[in-house]
Structure 1
Amino acid sequence: MHDNQDLTIGRITRVLAERLRPAVYSDPHPLQIAAHVVDGEPIPVAQGLEADYAPVAVGDRWGRAWDTTWLRLTGEVPASFAGRRVEIVADLGFDINMPGFQAEGLVYTADGAAVRSLNPRAQWIPVSPEARGGEKIEYFVEAASNPVLLDYHPFLPTEQGDVLTSSDEQLYRVRRVDVCVFEEEVFELVHDIEVLHQLAAELPEDSARRAKILRALDAALDRVDLRDIPATAADGRAELQGVLSSPAEPSAHRISAVGHAHIDSAWLWPLRETVRKVARTSSSMATLLDEDDDFVHAMSSAQQYAWVKQERPEVFARIKKAVESGRFVPIGGMWVEPDAVLPSGESFIRQISQGQRFFREEFGVECKGAWLPDSFGYSGALPQILVGAGFDWFLTQKISWNQVNRFPHHSFLWEGNDGSRIFTHFPPMDTYNAQLSGEEVARAARQFKEKSVARHSLAPTGWGDGGGGATREMLARAKRMADLEGSPQVVFESPNDFFDKAMAELPDPGVWRGELYLELHRGTFTTQHLTKQGNRTSERLLAEAELWAAAAAVRAGREYPYDELDSLWQEVLLLQFHDILPGTSIAWVHREAEERYERVATALRRIISESLTALDASAGADGLDAAPVDAELAVNAAPVAQRGVPAGAVAVAEPAAPSSARAEVGVFVLESESVRVEVDGSGHVRSLVDRATGREAIAQGRVGNALQLHQDFPNMWDAWDVDAHYFAMREDLDGPAEVTVDGDAIAVKREFGNSSITQRLSLSDDGRVLVVDCDIDWQEEEKFLKLAFPVEVFTDEVAAETQFGYHRRANHTNTSWEAARFETHAQRWFLVQEPGFGVAFLNESSHGFDVGRESNGREVVQNARFSLLRAPKFPDPRADRGRHRMRFGVLVGATPESATEAGWALQAPLRAATGSEVPALASSLDPAVIVSAVKLADDRSGDVVVRVYESSGSRVSTSIELAGLPVGTVVDADLIERPGEATETTQTPEGTVRVPVTLRPFEVKTFRVQR
């Protein structure tokens, strides 16, 4: 033994890697291997067990991209293994550095019972904790040869991301399948040494504790005979008991480890593969729960539980049993972990209502907090939604990925747009896939911002994305760090227990106001436009279908399609997952998403049509005008009800405001009573005048409707990122264009690069909005297309619609926080406004935009730009290539109120509908108070649910009118429809019931109307 610490560290490192870890398994005996390759999509377990198998040898290649190969492993436990713990070690060609991103398997017994997953970080199958010797071995492995798409260099284009384009190459090679003795004492020695070694690396070099640990490690290795490690492992362990038993300091940071496996519901694999990833991981975690009484595992996303219930009922039964014991913990309370900026407010509510209902019905529990560790930024509307749905806490980790600014808190109150606050925690370990290494736990303690007043943080622990979740190695580390001098204390417990402690020790936490903007992944506001357009269309049609179905149930006695609407909502909620809606998945996922959106739209249009037919027939039976309702025209009417027009009525468009399109000398003109637009021979808007004020919106010497093309090659993540350097390379598409008058519109045709665009510029029906319809054949690569309108408005901020309201962002770069927001997002509109005049920019299906402050030295111009299309090459090498139809609008003389109304109208323009008039179900007497949903209650009581919100940012007292509805009692409800106190109502002489409502700025309220 010696005192040279560097020599000791070098000795430990080599002995661990080359001698001790390999000695955990001894006396390997090869098993026989046979394989059955599935032709096409995965097959049921029973079919896999009964398939025809052919022999396979170690060294053979197997598995084309996305194939399923069933392996049969057979043999016998050697007699010499009697009394020992016996396991199979199976290496199918794994890379231990890529868990979750390559081949995986689920192991079954011969009777079809799932055992555990087989993956790079868990290459073992339990055979017997104490073998007799001579037992027959037969296991089956459903092995998925998923291709490695996220390699060490994660942004290389690949065709492997779709089964339609993937190669026929066999991707993996069987390395070993052996039955072995598991040497438990060696395993324990490995982790004694590893934990102490990692702890020593984090301690000051001159500390006494570090010196004592290294001296003990040196002594331990002196006692281990490297020629007979199993026989001498206990002697080595004995030398370490003193340093392992020294307790932690009373002030030591305390880490609540939560077993977790963050499984993206789709990403570098299709949805069908996620079903199997969840089943594999869940079976492993159920096995680990059986083997270790201290372990606690938490899993989010009701959709993932539902998949397992449907596709792997034997695994779901194990989950359900573990949930009952309180050690398999449903978390998050949502259908999936959605993108947290792009979905509508109503979608966020349905994520929670659908998720909590599943957990309540299947397990008898409701989740206490929201769990979104990996979404790409978080809307300032979320705190109100979470609190209003009954959540106590919120967890994320993603903001630690900020490129520039370090977030100032780890445990804090997050205040939303309306003033609602929710206790929030960011794990200071900066990961949601913790391994509980010494470096990680030290980092958590070191970085914890609230360390002067608190000592608790949380660590989601386990390999994600099919990597298998927590491992017995992680549990072994945690046991040693539960009370260890020099180390934070680590204990496995549920997230709820952690948050109870964290909230108790921080009675007066710091506050963060408004959105949690992620300074990364800004391209996700734009990438994969067709997926985003499908989501927008689906959200609109779902609102309409519920409204008309509720009206038909109340007025015509038609059965409300609860099951079908639930199913359609669940489909759309799934597609809002944070790697689908943002556009960051493989080609297969987005191809499927577009197909699914088409099916959803077809089903919703049918529900709307059938509801309108029932309403029409009912009106006819009452002696009213029974002319048939044109469902396709009426389909766009419902959202108008959410702008203050009576909900539940077939809206009939008012006559369009007269407008004209004509050619004059050197210019084309669009004109109405409200605006005058001049378009030059290049298709650019050179003038946009608000006739009420005479104010010119287009900046002097500049033009609007200007297409601009940027080079788009981000530093790392193609589909995710837009980096600030893209501004430096811009091509203005101001070359020749074909401009003509086309009826009441001006048509502009332009070609550029390999692409072309046809625009149709017209005025909206009310004559207020310049509407720009774009038909784009987009064939560029690594380009970013923008549509610019430089306007003369002096302001220091931009208002942008978010869920249930809007927020304001600084429009300058005084600080690094403001400079980092160079690309942002909106729901349907963003607005630049000075006192007395504003210009709103409306979108139908896109979210990204930027507004740059530009100056000629005297005047500041707001260069407002829509983000149209990107062309990244990873993970989908042809993302966005093809044809797109997009609609934009520009409203002069705008306010947040008029922008909100115009944004609704652009997304769902009002069209005339013939047929019977149907009395309104619900309407608002104040245009700032919007009816956002009308439906029947989820509990199938028949109650009508009406949701409203204040959209202008003001305090409002008004009434909601309920007409033609046999109203019993009206009660306040929370956002997921749990009833509260009754609300007083009044009645007009005509029999209309009025519900008084007082709202703070941006407040959302839900009422249940009992019939």
Structure 2
Amino acid sequence: MHDDRKLVEARLERVLRERVRPAVHPVTTPLAVEIWSTAGEPVPVAEGLTAPTTPIAPGTPWGLPWGTSWFKVTGTVPTEWAGRTVEAVLDLGFTPRTPGFQCEGLVHLPDGTPVKGLHPRNAYVRVGAPVAGGEQVHWRVEAASNPDLEASGVPFRPTPMGERATAGEAPQYVLGEMRLAVFDETVWNLVMDLEVLGELMAELPLDGARRWEILRAVGRALDAVDLQDVNGTARAARDELAGVLAAPAAPAAHRVSAVGHAHIDSAWLWPLRETVRKVARTASNMTALLDEDPDFVFTMSQAQQYAWIKEHRPEVYARVKKAVADGRFVPAGGMWVESDTNMPGSEAMARQFVLGKRFFMEEFGVENDEAWLPDTFGFAAGLPQIIKAAGSTRLLTQKISWSRTNTFPHHTFSWEGIDGTRIFTHFPPVDSYNCEMTGRQIAHAARNFKEKGVATRSLAPTGYGDGGGGTTREMVAKAARMRSLEGAARVEWEAPADFFAKAEAEYPEPPVWVGELYLELHRATLTSQAGTKRGNRRSESLLTEAELWAATAAARTRTPYPYEELDRIWKTVLLHQFHDILPGSSIAWVHREARETYARVAEELESIIAGAQRALAGDASGGTVLAFNSAPHTRCSVPAGGASAHTEQGETVPPAPREGGGYVLDNGLLRVEIDARGLVVSAHDRDADREAIAPGQAANLLQLHPDFPNQWDAWDVDAFYRNVGSDLTEVAELTVEGASVRVERSFGASRVTQRLSVPADTKRLDIDTEVDWHETERFLKLAFPLDVKADRYASETQFGHVYRPTHQNTSWEWAKFEACNHRFLHVDEPGWGVAVVNDATYGHDVTRTVRTGADAGTTTTVRASLLRAPRYPDPETDQGVHRFRHALVPGATIGDAVREGLRANLPERRVTGSAAEVAPLVTVDNDAVVVSAVKLADDRSGDLVVRLYEAHGGRARATVRIDAFATGRAVLTDLLERPLPDTEPPAAAGGGVELALRPFQMVTLRLPRA
């Protein structure tokens, strides 16, 4: 016992670092290196292969920011190395930081054949095993000099490097050594033995016999190593370890299903175009590793990334397709990208699965049964129904382990959504989607697993991700040693489907979690980059309209349906819902391109809509004005239900002076008082004789807070932001502009202009806000203090709404101090409520206070989050002009909130033509049933597809009438428009289809042309 464990552990670390690891490549010889660089966009491979090069020596700076360099690497294997294993070690100038965040390369043969990728933890290229000696080495390496945005070692420091125009021209890297080397496999295996045992030993109990058994064996192995002749004594050292490595794991040991993985962000600290190359490099690495190890299995999600390889690197794609056919390279998740799931609208969330699953089926003949979202920032409560409707039954994520306040109580459970659908869900207890197969991580997974005693299995996504790279041969070697090793969990390579099948079989009745999976972190992603968020919402709305009007024109006038255009646009919009684009957490380059893309998308969709509506309206010289509605305009119509010749609403009422200053807007249904500060001090529902605004308070109140989170600038808003804030009550100008009250304010370096109006014949106050924003590290909110006692409020999510508490009884409720909604929020008391609707915002908070004094009433304050100004990763986040539209709807039911939210996002359109009226293509006779999509079937059969859902949260019966289609032959389908098995077709009734829906149930109907 005198051999102190700390001495052995310290000795092990030093001997590995200074003697054993260097001996893996005991003999080396330099390679000749030449370079050609371009500062612009990446060139085609053929051009890079033939570009003229000049010599470059180790230690030479290279690589403009975001540039590309092609290295020519040549040499000859020494004849004296014959019979030995030889590989090249190619150092582009790597630093010890994690792969994926610095320079990377892809090695090619002279004919352009990809060999494998290069990154700091995977810099070797095998030449031969064994070599004959005299082999000629000739490679071309495409190397990306992407800036390391955290190279200073200070995370989240504002940097101009995230935009090519501001990144400068300083070389980013210094070329390291490029050498041929003898590879000593025995020494390399000794490194793996010692690392696995050392890592395991550190995790075992101090007083356990197994720890001391390993300690003694490691000590003997180190004694057996001659530090002056590591290569000659490595075998003897391995022999000393053979016994402890052969001891099998206990029968009850936790079982880890390892799957090779490289979670690659489709954009983040690099632009989209760089992800195309990251995916190609990683796929090349992984197909090469699959060839080396027969047990290894790799999985990759995101159909978009496969599509990029197919388009840009067909030679890499051919290798991927073969590996998929062999069952070794496994497409996962069945989504177009690993999207955010909080903010995408109903149809967009559905189309993520439709387009992703269809791609995998068409390209590989594979249909996934799992959704794969390891890094998404929380999960909306409507998602289970969407997953199931897409034909899947499972979900994997680990991001909830990042929550800062509460520890989620399960790792394997059944997740129930708002409609009652349940999905078998697994959170890997390894708490990482970048597992490196270390002893510490595997021991953590076993200790951390919360289902001990009723389940035995967890999954470990293994490999470098975020910026790519994937699994390494070292990870594979460690997994092999832990396949059955006493003191460790049992590790086995398995595809996700195999893991899920075994996990469900052993745990058929897991605990149930109901409602959203809220991430107690990254709440500010609901607000950052307002321009990106507006572009997403507008694109979703325009796609809804484009499909509706194109389908209507095809049915009425035989106008060709724009299948290719809509498919391409949907894929573009879905790509930009990736969980670092839509949430606003990418570099400036990404969001600049996103805004430009959304502008092009809007222009193209407007053209599709206009073309369809012109076809429907007839000759423009006819002079008839048709009003086309994609949102409900009467109680018996539906959001995507048709077109009519009457207007959506009457004129807006003119303002009148208010005693004491300000103005009054009164249409006989709603009386709104705006005081001299431009604030709403009264919103009186005349029918109910009820005031919406809390006594002594004011709505339409802009509030400004400091915003400097502890870390993750673009991602986080910390609760302490609420401790300090200011109300923006100073008014620069208050005037009447047409039928609106115009309010101007200045604060800091920014300016706000608002227009407040009340349309005739509706209880709705419209508030249009324009902000010229030039603040830094500030958070802007728009507040509505309401005289409503509500313990909970409704927030729209996909295909329905979710309820959240207004109080903070528990830490779980306190943690939801910033949450997501779509088009509306609704608070109510029995019999009376208020809605706040929007056309572009997602983040919000709802709080409640009890007033003092004789009143003693409750104020429920709804605040919409408008703008932030974080400085990392985009130091100019949201600078410039932004426009928002909100509406306050006193006396609103949930149905009113649904209707007004849709109206705010799907405005009426007017077209001049000769047609007298265009009847709706689809009508529904129940206001609780909302149509979310009307389109032609994706298989181009001409069939009509209608998707609808119950929107109020109760049971509903409805008759759906579809003109020009044979409704008697309607069938119920899944999201991919395939008939549902064991399901009776809906009954025909009254010239339509009769449906009975449970709360929030979503249904897809397919109808052949009459």
Q: Secondary structure at the match of 1:959?
A: strand
Q: Secondary structure at the match of 2:556?
A: helix
State the match for 1:878 in structure 2: 876
The 1:186/1:638 distance shift into structure 2, 3 A limit, reads farther
Q: Secondary structure at the match of 2:666?
A: strand
Give 1:43 shift.
0.3
State the match for 1:131 in structure 2: 131
State the match for 1:810 in structure 2: 805
Distance between the aligned counterparts of 2:636 and 2:542, measured in 1?
Answer: 13
State the match for 1:117 in structure 2: 117
Check if 1:663 corresponds to 2:657: yes
Instruction: Tell me the amino acid that sits aligned with residue 530 of structure 1.
Output: G
Give the counterpart of 1:649 among 632, 635, 643. Answer: 643
Distance between the aligned counterparts of 2:504 and 2:723, measured in 1?
Answer: 47
Contact 1:104 1:143 (8 Å CA) reproduced = yes
Instruction: Tell me the amino acid that sits aligned with residue 509 of structure 1.
Output: P
State the match for 1:85 in structure 2: 85
Contact 2:280 2:309 (8 Å CA) reproduced = yes
Give 1:910 shift.
2.6
The 1:590/1:44 distance shift into structure 2, 3 A limit, reads same
State the match for 1:575 in structure 2: 576
State the match for 1:532 in structure 2: 533
The percentage of counterpart residues that share the same residue type is 53
Instruction: Tell me the amino acid that sits aligned with residue 669 of structure 2.
Output: S
State the match for 1:728 in structure 2: 723
Instruction: Tell me the amino acid that sits aligned with residue 664 of structure 1.
Output: R
Check if 1:17 corresponds to 2:17: yes
Distance between the aligned counterparts of 1:790 and 1:926, measured in 2?
Answer: 33
The 1:984/1:332 distance shift into structure 2, 3 A limit, reads closer
Give the counterpart of 1:983 among 977, 982, 985. Answer: 985
Check if 1:888 corresponds to 2:890: no
State the match for 1:420 in structure 2: 421
Give 1:740 shift.
0.8
Identify the range of structure 1 (649-658 vs 12-21) with the bigger mean alpha-carbon deviation: 649-658
Instruction: Tell me the amino acid that sits aligned with residue 653 of structure 1.
Output: T
Give 1:195 shift.
0.5
Q: Secondary structure at the match of 1:771?
A: strand
Contact 1:89 1:179 (8 Å CA) reproduced = yes
The 1:543/1:736 distance shift into structure 2, 3 A limit, reads closer
State the match for 1:909 in structure 2: 907
The 1:641/1:634 distance shift into structure 2, 3 A limit, reads farther
Identify the range of structure 1 (148-157 vs 32-41) with the bigger mean alpha-carbon deviation: 148-157
Give 1:734 shift.
1.4
Contact 1:658 1:673 (8 Å CA) reproduced = no
Q: How many residues align?
A: 1000
Contact 2:524 2:715 (8 Å CA) reproduced = yes
Give 1:154 shift.
2.1
Q: Secondary structure at the match of 1:197?
A: helix
Q: Secondary structure at the match of 1:938?
A: coil
Distance between the aligned counterparts of 1:604 and 1:53, measured in 2?
Answer: 46
Q: Secondary structure at the match of 1:644?
A: coil
State the match for 1:502 in structure 2: 503
The 1:522/1:628 distance shift into structure 2, 3 A limit, reads farther
Identify the range of structure 1 (354-363 vs 219-228) with the bigger mean alpha-carbon deviation: 219-228
Instruction: Tell me the amino acid that sits aligned with residue 106 of structure 1.
Output: L
Superposed CA deviations along residues 371-420 of structure 1, whole A, max 9, x for unmatched, are 01111110000001101111021001110000100000000000000100
Give 1:984 shift.
4.5
The 1:117/1:208 distance shift into structure 2, 3 A limit, reads same
Distance between the aligned counterparts of 1:646 and 1:448, measured in 2?
Answer: 46
Distance between the aligned counterparts of 1:615 and 1:912, measured in 2?
Answer: 12
Superposed CA deviations along residues 569-597 of structure 1, whole A, max 9, x for unmatched, are 00000000000001110000000001111
Distance between the aligned counterparts of 1:511 and 1:646, measured in 2?
Answer: 35
Q: Secondary structure at the match of 1:22?
A: helix
Instruction: Tell me the amino acid that sits aligned with residue 828 of structure 2.
Output: Q
State the match for 2:998 in structure 1: 1000
Give 1:153 shift.
2.7
Contact 1:636 1:909 (8 Å CA) reproduced = yes
Distance between the aligned counterparts of 1:52 and 1:581, measured in 2?
Answer: 41
State the match for 2:98 in structure 1: 98
Give the counterpart of 2:830 among 822, 832, 835. Answer: 835
Contact 1:684 1:706 (8 Å CA) reproduced = yes
State the match for 2:400 in structure 1: 399
Contact 1:949 1:1004 (8 Å CA) reproduced = yes
Superposed CA deviations along residues 303-344 of structure 1, whole A, max 9, x for unmatched, are 000000000000000000000000100001000000010001
Distance between the aligned counterparts of 2:610 and 2:751, measured in 1?
Answer: 36
Check if 1:942 corresponds to 2:937: no
Superposed CA RMSD in Å reads: 1.7
Superposed CA deviations along residues 342-386 of structure 1, whole A, max 9, x for unmatched, are 001111111111011111111111111100111111000000110
The 1:451/1:347 distance shift into structure 2, 3 A limit, reads same
Contact 2:66 2:164 (8 Å CA) reproduced = yes
Give 1:967 shift.
4.4
Distance between the aligned counterparts of 1:125 and 1:646, measured in 2?
Answer: 57
The 1:974/1:31 distance shift into structure 2, 3 A limit, reads same
Give the counterpart of 1:847 among 842, 845, 855. Answer: 842
Q: Secondary structure at the match of 2:282?
A: helix
Distance between the aligned counterparts of 2:533 and 2:466, measured in 1?
Answer: 24
Q: Secondary structure at the match of 2:290?
A: helix
State the match for 2:72 in structure 1: 72
The 1:378/1:84 distance shift into structure 2, 3 A limit, reads same
TM-score (ref. length: structure 1) = 0.97
TM-score (ref. length: structure 2) = 0.97
1:208-287 to 2 correspondences below 5 Å: 208-287=209-288
Q: Secondary structure at the match of 1:957?
A: strand
Instruction: Tell me the amino acid that sits aligned with residue 783 of structure 1.
Output: R
Give the counterpart of 2:1007 among 1001, 1006, 1009. Answer: 1009
State the match for 2:561 in structure 1: 560
Q: Secondary structure at the match of 1:334?
A: coil
Contact 2:585 2:715 (8 Å CA) reproduced = yes
Q: Secondary structure at the match of 2:885?
A: strand
Give the counterpart of 1:784 among 761, 779, 785. Answer: 779
Superposed CA deviations along residues 45-103 of structure 1, whole A, max 9, x for unmatched, are 01000001011000000011100011010111111211111111111111122311111
Contact 1:642 1:932 (8 Å CA) reproduced = no
Q: Secondary structure at the match of 2:160?
A: coil
Give 1:10 shift.
1.4
Give 1:614 shift.
2.5
Distance between the aligned counterparts of 1:646 and 1:703, measured in 2?
Answer: 36
Distance between the aligned counterparts of 1:703 and 1:765, measured in 2?
Answer: 23
The 1:704/1:215 distance shift into structure 2, 3 A limit, reads same
Instruction: Tell me the amino acid that sits aligned with residue 277 of structure 2.
Output: R
Instruction: Tell me the amino acid that sits aligned with residue 663 of structure 1.
Output: P
Identify the range of structure 1 (960-969 vs 920-929) with the bigger mean alpha-carbon deviation: 960-969
Distance between the aligned counterparts of 1:502 and 1:905, measured in 2?
Answer: 45
Check if 1:4 corresponds to 2:1: no
Instruction: Tell me the amino acid that sits aligned with residue 854 of structure 1.
Output: T
Identify the range of structure 1 (732-741 vs 474-483) with the bigger mean alpha-carbon deviation: 732-741
Instruction: Tell me the amino acid that sits aligned with residue 707 of structure 2.
Output: D
Give 1:786 shift.
0.7
Contact 1:120 1:467 (8 Å CA) reproduced = no
Question: Which stretches in structure 2 are left out of the alignment for 5+ residues?
Answer: none
